[in-house]
Amino acid sequence: MSLNIGDRITLTIHDIAFGGEGVGRLEQMVVFVPFVITGETVEAEITEVKKNFARAKLVRVVTASAEHRVQPACRYFGACGGCQYQHMDYAQQLRVKHKQISDLFERVGRISPDRVLPVLPCPEPYGYRNRIMIRSQWNGPAKKLEIGFIRTDNKFVEDIDECKIAEPALNEQIKEVRANPPPKGGIKVVLRVQPDNWEVPRDSFFQNNFFLLPKLVGTVRDFLQAGGARHLIDLYCGVGFFGIETADLVTSFVGVEYDQLAIAAARKNLEDRQISNGEFLAAKVEDVLPDLLQKFSAANTAVILDPPRKGCWPATLELLRATRPAQVIYVSCHPATMARDLNILCADGVFDLAQVQPLDMFPQTQHVECVADLRCKA
């Protein structure tokens, strides 16, 4: 069957892929449609045709999911590119994310789905984000400055007055940005709510959901405690979050981060808490890890990896495979690169994946955080 852009089709959705698009089939062709739910029959219009798959925009839900379809809270949902799941009840979002992670880890990492624990929910499925990026773009035809988020089309800015997933304080800041608009075009403004009791420089990383932070810390602490290591190497440590939150569980720890201002803040965070068994290094992980791994006995060492979305350098993973610390705790907001890296660490049985705990740090969106507990096989 040949499909063309603009064709109207009717199809049934049998899965939700990473990224949030529903997956349907038309004879041999896989068709991706956003804003749908598994089991629904929908009418869609083809927008892109490739050799083995096509993309379509949702025109109409023919048979809606009686169980899981809900009214989106946000009036920009569907146009704004920020959220993918507001049309789905929250319990179903968690099930969808769990299946996506289990399927991905099985396919890419050959990890048994029974290692993936149920997704921990966020106590606040709306109003949770503590950091957002607002953009401005001059709309020539409308002679208007659009201030808001990138649209689903990835090209234009959707003008917004408020964001339902952002903390209320950020919605107040959006009003200020709109009252004093940035110059025409291409400007990005980061709005954030500072965490209590943490020094965080304006442009440094901090976890963007305060409501689920206790569970994130609890998961890392439980894994570390179960592993029983005495020394901790906290890689990609930002302002020292995990090292500081787990300092009481180890004899000594060292955090590594290349953002110099974040490391200055990490040292301050340490001092403020009068913690004396840890230190922070301003360096690239790949430059200092060989020496750090020499410093402590592998059998007593745990390594936390919390890399940026692109994951770890291959050389870093190879070094961990060669030096064999007793435990690696891998924290990630990007399950695809995480699965790739876990596959490398576990190849030839060097590490064994004990379990993966997903946490819904990003309700209503396609994103999910995962913490994996890897043990070195003797």
Ligand X SMILES: C[S@@+](CC[C@H](N)C(=O)[O-])C[C@H]1O[C@@H](n2cnc3c(N)ncnc32)[C@H](O)[C@@H]1O
Question: Can you give the binding site for ligand X, defined by CB under 6 A?
Answer: 205-207, 236-238, 241-242, 256-259, 262, 284-286, 306-308
Query: Which residues, in sequence order, are CB contacts of 195 under 8 Å at separation 6+?
Result: 130, 206, 210
Read off the tokens for 281.
Answer: 């290094």
Closer residue to ligand X in complex, CB, 203/271: 203
Whether residue 16 contacts residue 23, with contact meaning beta carbons closer than 8 Å, is answered with yes
Closer residue to ligand X in complex, CB, 241/296: 241
- Smallest distance, Å, CB 304 to ligand X? 7
Give me the residues paired with residue 304 across strands.
234, 329
Closer residue to ligand X in complex, CB, 148/238: 238
Closer residue to ligand X in complex, CB, 88/239: 239
- Smallest distance, Å, CB 375 to ligand X? 21
Separation between Cα atoms, residue 163 and residue 59, nearest integer Å? 25
Whether residue 1 contacts residue 29, with contact meaning beta carbons closer than 8 Å, is answered with yes
- Smallest distance, Å, CB 125 to ligand X? 22
Closer residue to ligand X in complex, CB, 92/207: 207
- Smallest distance, Å, CB 331 to ligand X? 7
CA 308 vs CA 305, 376, 377: distances in Å: 10, 23, 27
- Smallest distance, Å, CB 310 to ligand X? 8
Closer residue to ligand X in complex, CB, 46/256: 256
- Smallest distance, Å, CB 10 to ligand X? 42
Kindly report the CA angle at 9 between 41 and 365, in degrees rounded to 5? 55
Tell me which residue has its CB nearest to ligand X: 238
Closer residue to ligand X in complex, CB, 148/255: 255
* Cβ-based burial of 84 (10 A; exposed 0-12, middle 13-18, buried ≥19): buried
CA 285 vs CA 191, 238, 276, 298, 355: distances in Å: 28, 12, 22, 17, 25
User: Which amino acid, one-letter code, is at 121?
Assistant: P
- Smallest distance, Å, CB 126 to ligand X? 23
- Smallest distance, Å, CB 15 to ligand X? 29
Using left for φ > 0, alpha for ψ between -120 and 50, and beta otherwise, residue 341 falls in alpha
Long-range pairs, 158-164, Cβ under 8 A, ≥24 = 158/76, 158/79, 158/80, 158/81, 160/76, 160/80, 163/74, 163/82, 163/129, 163/132, 164/73, 164/74, 164/86, 164/126, 164/127, 164/364
- Smallest distance, Å, CB 367 to ligand X? 12
Whether residue 183 contacts residue 321, with contact meaning beta carbons closer than 8 Å, is answered with no
Closer residue to ligand X in complex, CB, 146/257: 257
Closer residue to ligand X in complex, CB, 184/284: 284
Whether residue 44 contacts residue 13, with contact meaning beta carbons closer than 8 Å, is answered with no
